[in-house]
Amino acid sequence: MIITSKRKIKTKALSEGFTLLEVMIAISILAIAMVVILGLRNRAIDLNGYARDLTAASLLAESKMGEWELKSFPDLGESVGEFGKENPDFKWRVIVTPTPFDDLRELEVIVTWKRGVRDEMLSLTTYFFQPLLSGG
């Protein structure tokens, strides 16, 4: 009877815990998962920066379009410039082109900015009617 109880103790002691191979496989899986998670985090940070720049470019383009709306009927041609000290990374270009109608002009506002080594661009287009002169 004593021999039987020792065998039970030995088998029980051998079945507790993990083998070295199981631990190494688990650590490998965790390492792969961490690399994927860090890559996703970096991509999320990059996309957040792009969204911030795109939002700023949209607001700047709308602002520039508002400036042109306050002017008289625009002449055909192209104008370029920068947004000043507040937004030194952004540049604008306004292109006024004719349409098939004499009293209608197309105005395109293009905002460009540098993002790393790439040039990014946002374009907004609107149309202006020549105001009617009152005959009175």
- Is there a contact between 89 and 57 (Cβ–Cβ < 8 Å)? no
Counting the structural domains of the chain, the total is: 1
Cα–Cα distance for residue pair 26/52, rounded to 1 Å: 39
Residues 102-111: what's their mean pLDDT?
A: 94
Separation in Å, CA 133 to CA 53, 74, 100, 136: 41, 16, 21, 9
Read off the CATH number of the domain in which 46 is found: 3.30.1300.30
Q: What is the pLDDT of residues 50-88, one digit of tens each?
A: 999 999 999 999 999 999 988 888 889 999 999 988 889
Residue 71: inside a domain, yes or no? yes
Separation in Å, CA 27 to CA 22, 31, 113: 9, 6, 44
Cα–Cα distance for residue pair 116/96, rounded to 1 Å: 30
Residue 11: inside a domain, yes or no? yes
Is the overall model pTM greater than 0.75, yes or no?
no
